[in-house]
Amino acid sequence: IERTERAIGWARQAEPTLSCVVAAGGVAANGEVRRQLGLACRRAGLPLVCPPIRLCTDNGTMVAWTGMLRLWLGLADPPLRKSDDVQLFVEVRPKWPIGPRDTRSTTQAQQLARRGEPGRAAGGTASAGPS
């Protein structure tokens, strides 16, 4: 929820006319997550908009669509190995942003440090990971 509140602040800086927060997919299917997001939105004076729970599922189509959007946005990377017979590569991640990482985000560096991988946070494909 702290990340949501911080994201709302960043979004308002970028788009002062921000009118709502939308939660969808598996996140919005979780009742406690919806409740906590609703509290954060109320504190920010914004409505939380969610589809009906029956439509809030994680699925392969969402993953494929995100991959396609990342390719369209030029967020793909060269293949990991020269032996890979592909021109572009998109890594699948459980928390996958569609756009580039916000430079104010420190979450990835904290996660990598907890795993003992602080060197990866500075560059490579890790910089396009979860925020």
Is residue 127 within 8 Å of residue 117, measured between CB atoms? Answer: no
Query: What's the rounded Cα separation, in Å, for the pair 117 and 58?
Result: 29
Q: Please, which pLDDT band fits residue 64 given cuts at 50, 70 and 90?
A: confident
Neighbour-count burial for 62-98, b at 16+ CB within 10 Å, e otherwise: eeeebbeebeeeebbeeeeeeeeeeeeebeeeeebbe
For residue 83, pLDDT over 90 is answered with: no
What tens digit of pLDDT does each residue of 24-56 get? 888 888 899 999 999 999 999 999 999 888 878
Q: Are 21 and 47 in contact (CB under 8 A)?
A: yes
What mean pLDDT value characterizes the chain? 75
